[in-house]
Amino acid sequence: MLDETFDALKTYDWGVDPKILRPLDEAVVAAHGNAAACKVLEDRLIAVLKTDAPRAAKDAICRVLRTIGTVASVPALTALLADDKLSHMARYALERIPAPEAGNALRSALPKAAAKQQIGVLQSLGARHDATAIPALQVMLGSKDPGVAPAAARALGALALPAANKALASAKPTAAIADASMACAENLLAGGLKADAKATYQRVLASTPAKPVQFAATLGLKACAGG
């Protein structure tokens, strides 16, 4: 049955009964904890991903590689990052592959991608909590595209690390910068870095943010003072 599923994947498209893919899902479950079995599946999926199989088939493959993908999957997924229709699913898989090569692929794609893809890549880097991406994210804070700079700020806010907070502090104040800075401040405070958290809350307040953010930053300052 699994061989039939792989044959079907080569032409699988929207409108085809998805039950044909069930043996693949079952094989993934059965291979759990078995590195050799997972590798066999991964290699077969990568082989199909490199063909001209329909988008629906490649979407399905990326979903599986999100679960069992390793560094071996990174080159094939990277090749899809610039594809307007497949970039999202390629990122979806790369986000969950713990190998540093997956993060490298996303970071390397940033300067070459169109703005729409850049926004998605930034989101994925934030989701990976990739601290090594902070310099690249800081560069994107200066983007002239109205969607890219806020996406870079959100990614830094997702990291919520001192280095991410420093990068945000270097940027022109915006609503996205304020929101991301608040996330960093909360993390700093939770980590006992009250002085850094206090400075961040004060920086947010100085940017005259929206009232809900003002309120939250004021509460944060009180927490820094222990009151």
Q: Which domain holds residue 202?
A: 134-227
- For residues 45 and 98, state if they share a domain: yes
State both tokens at 187: 């993390």
Do the domain assignments include residue 149?
A: yes
Do the domain assignments include residue 6?
A: yes
Distance separating alpha carbons of residues 165 and 182, to the nearest angstrom: 9
Do the domain assignments include residue 98?
A: yes
Number of domains the chain is built from: 2
Measured at the CA of 215, the angle between CA 210 and CA 216, to 5 degrees, comes to 100
| Chain segment 153-182, per-residue pLDDT in tens | 999 999 999 999 999 999 999 999 999 999
Do the domain assignments include residue 163?
A: yes
Domain boundary among 59, 75, 109: 109
> At residue 49, does pLDDT exceed 90?
yes
- For residues 181 and 224, state if they share a domain: yes
Q: What is the pTM of this model?
A: 0.88
State both tokens at 199: 């400075």
% of the chain at pLDDT higher than 90: 94
Do the domain assignments include residue 117?
A: no
CA 168 to chain centre: 19
Do the domain assignments include residue 155?
A: yes
| Chain segment 101-143, per-residue pLDDT in tens | 999 999 999 988 899 899 999 999 999 998 999 999 999 999 9
Do the domain assignments include residue 129?
A: no
Distance separating alpha carbons of residues 165 and 185, to the nearest angstrom: 8
State both tokens at 12: 């699988």
